[in-house]
Amino acid sequence: MKGLAHIPYHWLEEIINLAAERIVLVDRKGIIQYINSGYCEFIGTTAESAIGKHVQDVIENTRMHIVAQTGHADLAAVQSINGSDMIANRFPLIVDGELVGAVGTVMFRNPEEWWHYQTKIQALVEELKYYKNRFEKELKSKYSFNDLIGNSQAFSASKKLAERVSGSQSSVLLLGESGTGKELFAHAIHSSSTRAAFPFVPINCASIPEHLLESELFGYEEGAFTGAKKGGKKGQFQNANFGTIFLDEIGDMPLSMQSKLLRILQEKEVQRIGGQKSTPVDVRVIAATHRDLEKMVQEGEFRQDLYYRLNVIKIEIPPLRKRKEDIQIIGKHLLKKLSRKFHRTEINLSADVIARLQNHLWPGNIRELENVLERAINVLDGKTIELIHLPLYLRDHEENQSLHQKLTFEAANNPSVFPVQPLKETVAQAEKQSIQNVLRVTQGNKLEAAKLLEISKTSFYEKCKLYGIK
């Protein structure tokens, strides 16, 4: 300090101009106490005019007053000045342990340096913006709680619970049959959470082959295995950082993967395949399944510690057959959606159709209802869906039900009568039995089993999922 005291003031000012590019100093109230000539030249002002004014009145898009108030540095921040993106550093100024103001610098000492920089990296900046926008569009939640339709008591209770916990950071476990809308609930919870501005990443654990699931979730380093991409690949947990990852059909996740998932949830860090270091991740997990996880835990098919980690907040979504009073309102909502798809307007359901839909058991739930309505619109000439427009199994519902009850009664009272069931169920049972038999032959090797059955790997996995075969 003794040496600085002997340096003339105008020398010190010139040193600052040369070493610190553009610099501005404000007090705790954000009032400019000093601004160098380089900064003044760039923003088109003078030191005499700027000093004594609030920094917001002199420098556009500044955050200097915030740093002076909070004492938190703001480093390598992009700041738009005069239509150009500058890189600004803002530091709290602490003297004798007391916060007295803030110092800010902007890189590039003259416009020529900025233009030289801009010509080099502007193309990269534009490319980054493009991929950022694309990434955000693809990984945003698509539905809100307004898209969850229904007024029945059971459904309303599930929806209210989901709304109540959406602001929490705790894991959520969604339980319900296939087609009940578990993914819609997950989207809605994310879109109402504090993480809504960050990615929503859905993963279907049943649709990804076991040997690919680990690399999909956790990523891999370059050279980790044959065929690994150059430079490696981020896993979905890293893609979901600060946001939400939705693990659909979690009950189909292999035991070996369950232990690795548990580690991520406990340690909050992920290690890529072939990597040596762990990367911190801040992700909220929403899991869903149609399977009975408690029973799977008892049978050793699902890790108990992972179950308790996921089952912090459990939301059970009722099947459509237990909320039949909602069928009419759901049907109208689906018709609006389908009308836009088929460029139709004002399509209605007749009273007979509504009654018939309410009498059906809906094993496929809302997904089945949407398929039925889509089929009806395809064969509809007018604007009202009648019984004749419904699939045959719904049109003949009452007759089939009466005949089925008669045959079941006869079979129960006469052992010689073979039990009668729909052909669809008979075929399904035969398919399931065939798959189980071939898996025994291949000792659980699904790829080999698919080859023996002469069907594609994808079809085999879908059938295993359909029939609950591991």
CATH for 30: 3.30.450.20
What is the model's pLDDT at position 403? 47
pLDDT digits (tens, 9 = 90+) for 185-209: 999 999 999 998 888 999 998 888 8
The fraction of the chain above a pLDDT of 70, given in percent, is 82
Check whether residue 299 and residue 168 sit in a common domain: yes
Check whether residue 73 and residue 38 sit in a common domain: yes
- Encoded tokens for 308: 């308790």
Residue 44 clears pLDDT 80, i.e. is over it: yes
What is the model's pLDDT at position 77? 79
Average pLDDT rounded to a whole number, residues 136-160: 86
Question: For the ranges 35-49, 164-178, 353-367, 441-455, which has the lowest average pLDDT?
Answer: 441-455
- Asked if 284 and 169 count as a contact pair (C-beta separation under 8 A), the reply is yes
Between 107 and 325, residue with greater pLDDT: 325
Q: Which residues contact 346 (CB under 8 A, 6 or more apart)?
A: 339, 383
In this structure, is the dihedral angle defined by the CA atoms of residues 299, 300, 302 and 307, taken in order, positive or negative?
Answer: positive
> Which of residues 316, 345, 379 is at a domain's end?
316
Helix and strand element counts for the chain (H, E)? 21, 16
Tell me, yes or no, whether 134 lies in a domain.
Answer: no
Check whether residue 206 and residue 312 sit in a common domain: yes
Check whether residue 168 and residue 259 sit in a common domain: yes
Average pLDDT rounded to a whole number, residues 92-96: 90
Tell me, yes or no, whether 43 lies in a domain.
Answer: yes
What is the model's pLDDT at position 407? 47
pLDDT digits (tens, 9 = 90+) for 274-312: 888 888 999 999 999 999 999 999 999 999 999 999 999
Domain that holds residue 161: 145-224+233-316
d(CA 141, CA 200): 6
Domain CATH code at residue 468 = 1.10.10
Please report how many Cα atoms fall inside a 13 Å half-sphere around the Cα of residue 333, on the Cβ side: 13
What is the model's pLDDT at position 417? 47
Check whether residue 248 and residue 330 sit in a common domain: no
pLDDT digits (tens, 9 = 90+) for 246-275: 999 999 998 889 998 999 999 999 888 888
> Considering the entire predicted model, what is its pTM?
0.58
- Asked if 182 and 319 count as a contact pair (C-beta separation under 8 A), the reply is no
Check whether residue 369 and residue 462 sit in a common domain: no
Tell me, yes or no, whether 374 lies in a domain.
Answer: yes
Give the torsion through C-alpha atoms of 258, 261, 262, 263, to 10 deg.
130
Domain CATH code at residue 244 = 3.40.50.300
In this prediction, residue 3 has a pLDDT band, given cuts at 50, 70 and 90, of: low
Residue 220 clears pLDDT 80, i.e. is over it: yes
Average pLDDT rounded to a whole number, residues 321-327: 93
d(CA 277, CA 111): 42
Domain CATH code at residue 328 = 1.10.8.60
Tell me, yes or no, whether 409 lies in a domain.
Answer: no
CA-to-CA separations, 327 to 30, 323, 391, 395, 401, in angstroms, rounded: 60, 7, 17, 17, 20
- Asked if 85 and 76 count as a contact pair (C-beta separation under 8 A), the reply is no
- Asked if 105 and 66 count as a contact pair (C-beta separation under 8 A), the reply is no
Check whether residue 156 and residue 305 sit in a common domain: yes
Check whether residue 180 and residue 280 sit in a common domain: yes
Tell me, yes or no, whether 120 lies in a domain.
Answer: no
pLDDT digits (tens, 9 = 90+) for 387-416: 999 988 887 655 455 445 554 555 555 544
Q: Where are the extended beta strands (E) located within 318-380? A: 348-349
Check whether residue 373 and residue 251 sit in a common domain: no
d(CA 62, CA 106): 11
Count of domains observed in the chain: 4
Tell me, yes or no, whether 132 lies in a domain.
Answer: no
3-class SS at 232? coil
Q: Which residues contact 151 (CB under 8 A, 6 or more apart)?
A: 325, 326, 329
Tell me, yes or no, whether 119 lies in a domain.
Answer: no
What is the model's pLDDT at position 454? 82
Check whether residue 94 and residue 15 sit in a common domain: yes
What is the model's pLDDT at position 169? 92
Q: How far apart are the first and last CA of the chain?
A: 75
3-class SS at 22? strand
Q: Would you tell me how many other CB atoms lie within 10 Å of the CB of residue 276?
A: 7
Check whether residue 445 and residue 379 sit in a common domain: no
Query: If you average pLDDT over every residue of the chain, what do you get?
Result: 83
> Which of residues 107, 137, 155 is at a domain's end?
107
Question: For the ranges 20-24, 186-190, 200-204, 422-426, which has the lowest average pLDDT?
Answer: 422-426
Question: For the ranges 5-14, 55-64, 174-183, which has the lowest average pLDDT?
Answer: 5-14
- Encoded tokens for 138: 């693809």
Tell me, yes or no, whether 130 lies in a domain.
Answer: no
What is the model's pLDDT at position 20? 54
What is the model's pLDDT at position 288? 95
Average pLDDT rounded to a whole number, residues 107-117: 60
> Which of residues 316, 350, 378 is at a domain's end?
316
Check whether residue 393 and residue 432 sit in a common domain: no
What is the model's pLDDT at position 18? 64
The fraction of the chain above a pLDDT of 90, given in percent, is 41
